[in-house]
Amino acid sequence: MTPPVEPPSTSVRELVVRVFALDTRALAVMRIAFGLLLLLNLVNLWPDVDVFFTDSGMLPRDARRQLSEQEQFTAPPCWLSPHMLDGGEAWQRALILVQGAFAIAIVVGYRTQFALLGAWVLLIGLQARNPMILTGGDQLLRCQMFWSLFLPLGARWSLDARRRPPAPNRVCSIATAALLIQLAVMYVFTALLKDDPVWRSDFTALHYALRADHLTSTWGYELLRYPALVRALTFGTLALELVGPLLLFYPARGWGLRTFVVAAFFGLHVGIAVTMDIGLFSYVCIACWLAFLPTGFWDALARWFGRANPNPRPDVPGWAVPSWPVQGLIAVLLCYVLLLNITRLQHGLETHLAPGPLRLVGDSAQLNQTWSMFAPRPFTVGGWYNFRGTLPDGTKINLLHPDRPPQDEPPPRVTDDYPSTAWRISLVYMLAIHDCDTHARSVGEFLCRRWNASQPPDRQLVAAELIAMLQPIPPPGEANANPVREHVLWRWQAPER
């Protein structure tokens, strides 16, 4: 009788490779997406460079240095920014053009690692210059670009690849593990922070997020017409954030599970982008997920388009491994990221690791982070802004839109009331952050300067105030009968002559 054949045992190394190996084609696509996102961000900021980055704008360098801890919490320190060397517009635009050149080099894969380093350094400088226009997407891009410095993003589909021997299909190292763990940390910890009943039992969090008005698109308002669907999407979002990234650590033999997880997060972020206007956040997340499309997916895609290679590349997942000192550094930084997020989960988002070597190394790599997207719950109030100025004859004017009357009544759609996405993020921070006096004063003084510079002496402002018109959001199914109240963010009165 023939004894049963035992299946071959799976080695620890094979399990590690299954979890952490990344396809070099996936890394190439992520590289291209990163470069395009950097370019898109710069294009979006270009018309408002004078507003957000010069001394004549919304946050002069003196005001930037005076921002509170809450206002600049996870942003890089201002002394790291080359944008702080000069407050003129020409210098700011020159730095942005240099960053754009690095971004183009990343897209085409020319001297990829050097271009990534240059773009990352200038991205830190841009974020450090004005933290009040940043979102979670900016944090994630900064972190994932750092881990990418240790990965062969230029191994495929690049100008660099034309000058080198063909690279294998997969790479596996502590740097690929860092890229995966960082992405998982963002979703898992933001899910753990969402401990309010609107997420855990009532499932009304998306209702409140969409009814807050400042970020809601036309499709977002349409979605609010289906409260049962909104509840289901609330539950689905929390479940996917908590469980989805953990599935990446399951060492499946096939490529179907990982492809399904990536597709699910693609769907989540497409839905967010369609219903809410939160800048490049969703697109940065999608770009990061591209790196985790497995080899089987790319092989199937090649066969679909008739591009299958009759001489497949060797599968050497240990290729392009960093040196031992670099691996040690990455391991230390991963410990920093995990301990920092655990600390803030246990003791509050405003806490930090105790001063010491670990914190020094982690902060030096600009990996300071917190992932509190709509956590522990979204805003409970909606409304709009009314930035009013008073002229010598008592006339009230609209400081945000000088060609319109004061915004005493709600606009047809609040998101359309902002000149750009960066404007919206900057102004919404005045409500989202408790200690935001420096920023509010800086915004008010900028709006006053802008008005006075364009008006004759008899129409100079004698008073100004930044007011948030707040209205509590009713629960699903209830009419919005709550009264509007005025919350003064900043007020100024000209001295008597």
How high is the mean pLDDT in each 10-residue block of the chain (497 residues)?
51 92 97 98 97 97 94 92 97 98 98 98 98 96 98 96 91 97 98 96 96 92 95 98 97 94 98 94 98 95 80 76 95 98 93 94 96 92 94 96 92 90 93 87 97 95 96 86 87 86
Rounded (5°) CA angle 105-362-70: 95
What's the pLDDT at 407?
A: 92
Please, are residues 404 and 398 in contact by the beta-carbon 8 Å criterion? yes
Q: Which residue has the tokens 């036309």?
A: 218
What's the pLDDT at 370?
A: 94
| Most distant CA atoms of the chain, gap in Å | 110
What's the pLDDT at 73?
A: 84
What's the pLDDT at 497?
A: 64
What's the pLDDT at 435?
A: 80
What does each C-alpha distance from 458 to 130, 351, 394, 408, 462 come to in angstroms? Answer: 34, 50, 12, 25, 10
Q: Are strands 463-472 and 485-493 parallel, antiparallel or unpaired?
A: antiparallel
What's the pLDDT at 480?
A: 73
pTM, 2 dp: 0.94
What's the pLDDT at 431?
A: 85
What's the pLDDT at 5?
A: 46
Closest Cα partner for 206 from 268, 265, 287? 268
What's the pLDDT at 226?
A: 95
d(CA 470, CA 491) in angstroms, rounded, equals 17
Q: Is 68 exposed, middle or buried (0-12, 13-18, 19+ CB in 10 A)?
A: middle
Please, are residues 154 and 112 in contact by the beta-carbon 8 Å criterion? yes
C-alpha 289 chain-centroid distance: 14
